[in-house]
Amino acid sequence: MKISGLLLFMLFNAILVFSQQEPRTTINLNGNWQFDQTTNAFPPAKFTRTIPVPGLVHLAVPKIEDYDKFFKRADKVVAKDQHNLYNIDYTPRYSWYRKTVFIPKELDGKEAMITIKKSQYVTQVYVNGYDMGLSVACYTPVEFPITGVIRYGAENEILIKIGDRVWLPSDAAGGTDKEKEHYLPGIWDDVQVSFTGKMRINRLLVLPSVAGGKVTVKAQIRNLLPSQIFVGDAMSDSLTLNISITEKLTGKVIAEKNGRFNAKRDNLTEADMEIPISGFTNWTPDKPFLYIATATLKNDKGNSDELAKQFGMRDFTRKGKFFYLNGEKYILRGTNVTLQRFFEDPDCSNLVWDRAWVKKLLFDLPKKLNWNMMRICVGIAPDFWYDLADEYGLMFQNEWLYWQNHGWDDQLRKEYTDWVWSDGNHPSIAIWDAINENWDDYIGNTLIPELKKLDPTRIWDSGYMTSDQMPQDEMDEPHPYQGPMPWKSFSEFEKNPYPLGNLNFKPDVIQRIDAAGVPQLINEYGWVWLWRNGTPSKLTLNTYKYYLGANSSPDQNREFQAYWMELETEWLRSNPNPAGVLAFCYLANNYGYTGDWFIGNIKDLKPTPTLDWFQNAFAPVATFINLTDERYVKNSTPHVPGSTLLFNQIGRAHV
């Protein structure tokens, strides 16, 4: 059989990017795009590079002009405690992505929507030369209707302009991180064009209740019919929403329900449905059982749209000082990932979007260390990270990139609300974390109470705000760092040394943890960071100088770090009052202010001794020795060799 070149071309495109799920048709635009940069807001005269999507601009081939300025491999460490966002050493540029896509003639008559799940910073979309709109959102989906400019049965040009971080406008909810020096722009999550009828399911939020034996399904419906023009024209349309819930593995239907709603034209309408279910299996990190909720939207012309979301039957609540998973007290053990900092690591490459690498990072290694929770710290992750966590069993404290204040209240409401709508189906996300180490009265006392109405199934954290600043305080995140810090003199630590290993040590931060009435999640500690070559980080030069002297070797540094982190973890976990302990930091920028616990090129995920020692420190059942260190602690008198050593043991079970 002879097939023409044109037919082969069309078949190839259909196989490569075309997936159909009636009545929604989706064309996946991930893959290689044309790429280039300009210093002004006009597109390049020609494109000289290619780039993978998703990814960031460092993945362009050939490399971008300022690549070496973004990625510096330092020969030595220079002590530094923070960085000013506007002290830049590169030329700010616009990043341009271009792709052509064939749109089949059969889709003519459908409504087209382009979706960019995550892009940073300031995104503008053009289709076939028409400006489709601009968005300042960096961590939630960017979407624009493009029906009116599509050429059906032909190639269509999609052009996306991404701005630099220093141009992010004042109103945008895009925070700053004083321990980042370069903010790489780019499209860092999936891109697609989808086709539906006039009624579209814009968002679908599935909220389980194990205790109530039900799920609440919230749909955000976009009516794409034009708004009223003349008196008497229709202002809304009647529709039916069908929800079917099935087991992901077997496809077995366990519940189904229909509801009737009116959707306002050229607008968004919210529809809620409660669906009783029975005989379900709970989701836990040890048994991550998943369901699929499929929503089908019908109007007078038939099926208009269909959207499916995976979810788990999981209750995560708090009572008194502790968290509860499906009604059982549940102590959190784990670590932190600073993904936005890792983006500026010279070895980052495309690892963040490599599923095998992410699986090893998030599940294969942590399961051996008895971890059940990670904080995605100062910045969230690509969507598939949460999909994998749902599937393999890991919980997240999911933190917006808000360390230093940035954004106007109305825009914070808009972006945070879309964050909950977009990511709220994942059972892996147990805690919404609005702020890191800061305070914001609007977020804590106005926005979070609003968002609790949208999603009452999760806990909210608001940085350093506590019960005296926000009456609806659900948890606190103390950071009990100990040992020398760059802004303090050695003499201060000589006067009051940290008694490493003394489980009875009660500084002010621990006294506050003990006295608190809400869960205290310790999600940062351990001021002993190293780069992957074993040298101290920018923040810890003085720490290692204080304890080991100025010329300690990488092996000595790693031994000290492992010993310190083991003892400090035991100190925190031996206390019965914290609701969880998350060590800082599992993944970071290798040449940054902090560090992580890997050796060599991060693609290999070769653990340092610290990770090996954590297997014991985070054991669910453990016995800790109450004995102050005599190797490193200053101003202490060590035992004479051969003398009798007396100490107490503290046991902790199922924590």
Q: What is the mean pLDDT of the chain?
A: 94
* pLDDT, tens only, 289-341: 999 999 999 999 899 999 999 999 999 999 999 999 999 999 999 999 999 99
**CA distance linking residue 317 with residue 456, whole number of Å:** 10
pLDDT for 638 equals 87
Q: According to the model, what pLDDT value does residue 655 have?
A: 53
CATH, domain 323-620, list 3.90.1560.10, 3.30.1330.10, 3.20.20.80, 3.30.465.10? 3.20.20.80
Contacts of 582 (CB under 8 A, 6+ apart): 332, 333, 334, 335, 336, 373, 374, 375, 397, 521, 522, 523, 524
Q: Cα-flanking dihedrals φ and ψ of residue 566, to 5°?
A: -60, -50
For residue 654, the model assigns a pLDDT of 59
561's tokens = 């770090």
**What is the tens place of the pLDDT at every residue in 514-524?**
999 999 999 99
- pLDDT, residue 162, reads 98
Report yes or no: 507 and 479 within 8 Å, Cβ to Cβ.
no
Find the range with the poorest average confidence among 479-488, 498-507, 566-575: 479-488
Position 17 confidence tier, pLDDT thresholds 50, 70, 90? very low
Flag whether pLDDT at 371 surpasses 50. yes
Task: Read off the pLDDT band of 138 (50, 70, 90).
Answer: very high
What is the Cα–Cα distance from 285 to 281, expressed in whole angstroms?
13
Band the pLDDT of 634: cuts 50, 70, 90.
Answer: confident
| Total-model pTM | 0.94
- CA dist 71 and 110 (Å) reads 45
SS (H, E, C) 503-515: CCCCCHHHHHHHH
Q: pLDDT, tens digit, for every residue of 87-133?
A: 999 999 999 999 999 999 999 999 999 999 999 999 999 999 999 99
User: Exposed/middle/buried for 253, CB within 10 Å: 0-12, 13-18, 19+?
Assistant: exposed
Q: At residue 310, what are phi and psi to the nearest 5 degrees?
A: -85, 150
Q: Which residue, among 195, 205, 182, has the nearest Cα to 293 in the 3D structure?
A: 205
Domain ranges of the chain: 19-195, 199-311, 323-620
CA-CA distances (angstroms) from residue 655 to 59, 322, 334, 506, 569?
Answer: 42, 11, 11, 20, 12
Residues 6 or more apart whose CB falls under 8 angstroms from that of 485 comprise 527, 539, 542, 543
DSSP, collapsed to helix, strand or coil, labels residue 608 as coil
Six token digits for residue 535: 């040298």
Q: Taking CA 488 as the corner, what is the angle to CA 486 and CA 490, rounded to the nearest 5 degrees?
A: 100
Q: Which residues contact 250 (CB under 8 A, 6 or more apart)?
A: none
pLDDT for position 614: 97
Residue 3 has pLDDT above 60, yes or no: no
- pLDDT at position 14 is 43
C-alpha to C-alpha distance for 338 and 433, rounded to whole angstroms: 14
Tell the CATH topology of 19-195. Jelly Rolls (2.60.120)
Q: Give me the CATH code for the 199-311 domain, please.
A: 2.60.40.10
